[in-house]
Chains A and B, each alone.
Chain A
């Protein structure tokens, strides 16, 4: 749990321009008692043309059940560089406030402690003012005042002093869960590279798409997760199909080079990611079922039932994929195409059909990975892109283009990411994966299971 809570906190703090949008369902950020810090949209060039900027934020606290409750009627005071009052805002029923001010100029934001509703207090009672900063024209600057129920001053988010062994056990377990999620998401990435040579930077967006569609059908439409998830996975598989038919096959026919395709996949990834942000907003959201469960205590572990389900579903899926690749006709054809495309084609294999199948299966698996990832730690617009870097590390580690390499690489990366928090701060844990990537490229660039001729 240690790990997943820190991830949530991290996500909450980074969550994007929420625009004060309605939070229709319960977020269960276990430890993040705070205010969303939004993306600081700064208009580098346009800055001069606009004469005002906005300081905004959302104040809330978490009640005993972990529900996020907006704090209404809190007064936020903004002082200019000379200490004179520049403006103030009062939070509305959703806890949102915004103050529009002349810009560029220096401001200091304070909270009026008198106005905090009875029963609430600042988490850090000494922090009634934020450090002064410069507000640029056109900027929407989000600010943070964490509130708690009761008296502040005690950091409730820190887990009680656990021993090293307990931590190790918990992190290893969470690493296993995370590794399996990475594994499922990255099979498609690896197989597509193996068969077409495309390094698909837009693969992470298939993962996000799966999670977002599940969220849409679950929270938006109101279906149970068990119904919403299969629909989302099927649609993501369809997105894989559309990817191949609408973009990549026509490009291959056109004779577009691999590097050009790589850059195009980045363009596609950026378009998809910001379309997600456009419609979803920057919040981290949670599915309605299974997000909040009481854990079983097994030895040092606090196991939430959904994690057991994630493990079970992933293992079954991965075994099914392995058996499929090993024994079915399509699986053999896939391996043949990955091995030698021309030879496969001349032996009568319909290469285009095999590639299309890989896109559909890979898309579906990415969608499933996204749903499980979302169940585990919430759904954000850029979750897939963050996962993509881990997937690349995993796939490179295991062996780019192999079928089983990603599985091995993912488990190692998942464990490594989590276990590294024993040594470094949780916010730095993804840094470790880059180190894995660099070390593997230095020592064994073809990856653990890869063959040497692939690295060129």
Chain B
């Protein structure tokens, strides 16, 4: 086993494209759960509408900046649709509706036809094959020509853009949370009734939080598919497991903390690559017998570890590495 290679690659993933899109998506989720206490279990749905908004626009001949705008608009509409029926109710209703909606989004984009537009639908979404090649115009303005730190030029470009967006997002969240609106947001998390008694409209505040967090989710989805070069409606890419990868990243760093989601995403992304590569190497070298684990099963292992990580974190350290337990919305109201 080449430990040098494994460690170098894992270290790269601390700042690589995966860490970047995890971070931006987790920043959005942190606005939902960390600051407002909303149980959004359908974050992959936001990633999906953003990704498909971009991919379809570019695939149909639009410029990519227009695609970004359309993706963000789609996320806004999605947030409003989710919020209207659920935000007046107890927290777990939002949980159920969000997890169901993200699956619904995936079913819809996978469908071969759609009422009203018929088979034209698949021309747009690509059905279960998804859409390819929409990232060329984005990479055509790539200024990098050489490899650096082991990253290919295209990756360097997505990392540069990605980290710029991460810092911008953190700045936006910092400014938002310092504002009176940010304090109202946390107040909703702590005691919704008290907020109402003080004359604030808790429903509207929660809705704003859902939309703003969703925009970051959509942005994360766009970075994800731009880097991957294709968008496909698989559970791994845009389904419920993806939602909880982002949850683990967020909780690991610490919820309701400015840098928590970013640090959590870096560590989680590095850890994922490390376990993945180590297991792969062990299987390849024959340290793990074939009947116990084969190449395909290594891929499934990361989901098992992610689920275990989520359970153990929530049981033993729900505040993550940097979080404050008092700032956690862990009791149902």
User: A residues engaging B (CB < 8 A)?
Assistant: 13, 17, 19, 37, 39-49, 104, 106, 130-134, 136, 140, 197, 199, 201, 251, 254, 256-260, 262-264, 266-275, 277-278, 382, 385, 389, 392-393, 396, 423-425, 427-428, 430-431, 433-434, 437-438, 441-442, 445, 455-456
Q: Is the interface of B mostly helix, strand, loop or mixed?
A: helix
Query: Is the C-beta of B111 less than 8 angstroms from some C-beta in chain A?
Result: yes
Contacts A263-B314, A437-B97 hold; do A42 and B228 have CB atoms under 8 A apart?
Answer: yes
- Chain A residue nearest to B235 in the complex (CB): A39
What's the count of A-B pairs with C-beta under 8 Å? Answer: 208
Q: Is there an interface contact between B308 and A48, defined as CB atoms closer than 8 Å?
A: no
Q: Is there an interface contact between B296 and A270, defined as CB atoms closer than 8 Å?
A: no
Q: Is there an interface contact between B297 and A259, defined as CB atoms closer than 8 Å?
A: no
Query: Is the C-beta of B66 less than 8 angstroms from some C-beta in chain A?
Result: no
Q: Which residues of A contact B176 (CB under 8 A)?
A: none
Which of these binds chain A: B9-17, B166-174, B196-204?
B9-17
Which of these binds chain A: B57-65, B70-78, B207-215, B299-307?
B299-307
**Would you list 11 pairs from A and B whose C-beta atoms are within 8 A, ordered by A residue?**
A17-B299, A19-B294, A39-B236, A43-B276, A45-B18, A45-B273, A106-B132, A259-B332, A267-B312, A423-B115, A427-B110
- Chain B residue nearest to A41 in the complex (CB): B299
Contacts A134-B132, A134-B133 hold; do A271 and B332 have CB atoms under 8 A apart?
Answer: no
Q: Which residues of B contact A441 (CB under 8 A)?
A: 85-86, 89, 93, 97
- One of A39, A133, A266 near B132 (C-beta < 8 A): A133
Q: Mark B37-50, 1 if CB is under 8 A from A, else 0.
A: 00101000000000
Nearest CB of chain B from residue A197's CB, rounded to whole Å: 7
Nearest CB of chain A from residue B207's CB, rounded to whole Å: 15
Supply 4 further A-B pairs (C-beta < 8 A) apart from A19-B295, A262-B39: A106-B132, A263-B310, A268-B307, A278-B301
Q: Which residues of B contact A263 (CB under 8 A)?
A: 247, 310, 314
Q: Is there an interface contact between A456 and B303, defined as CB atoms closer than 8 Å?
A: no
- Chain B residue nearest to A133 in the complex (CB): B132
- One of B84, B155, B296 near A140 (C-beta < 8 A): B296
Nearest CB of chain A from residue B196's CB, rounded to whole Å: 14
Contacts A44-B17, A262-B92 hold; do A437 and B100 have CB atoms under 8 A apart?
Answer: yes
Complex formed: what's the CA distance from A50 to B220 in Å? 23
Q: Mark B292-333, 1 if CB is under 8 A from A, else 0.
A: 001111011101101111111011001000000000011111
Q: Is the interface of A mostly helix, strand, loop or mixed?
A: helix
Complex formed: what's the CA distance from A39 to B301 in Å? 15
Query: Is the C-beta of B161 less than 8 angstroms from some C-beta in chain A?
Result: no
Q: Which residues of A contact B232 (CB under 8 A)?
A: 40, 42
Contacts A44-B227, A136-B229 hold; do A267 and B90 have CB atoms under 8 A apart?
Answer: no
- One of A19, A131, A257, A275 near B331 (C-beta < 8 A): A257
Complex formed: what's the CA distance from A259 to B309 in Å? 17
Nearest CB of chain B from residue A195's CB, rounded to whole Å: 15
Query: Is the C-beta of B190 less than 8 angstroms from some C-beta in chain A?
Result: no
Complex formed: what's the CA distance from A392 to B113 in Å? 27
Complex formed: what's the CA distance from A428 to B103 in Å? 11
Complex formed: what's the CA distance from A251 to B311 in Å? 11
Nearest CB of chain A from residue B1's CB, rounded to whole Å: 15
Complex formed: what's the CA distance from A392 to B41 in Å? 14
Query: Is the C-beta of B177 less than 8 angstroms from some C-beta in chain A?
Result: no
- One of B19, B100, B110 near A389 (C-beta < 8 A): B100
Q: Which residues of A contact B307 (CB under 8 A)?
A: 266-274
Query: Is the C-beta of B187 less than 8 angstroms from some C-beta in chain A?
Result: no
Q: Which residues of A contact B110 (CB under 8 A)?
A: 427
Q: Which residues of B contact A140 (CB under 8 A)?
A: 296
Interface positions of B from 220 to 274, Cβ below 8 Å from A: 224, 227-230, 232, 234-237, 240-241, 244, 247, 269, 272-273
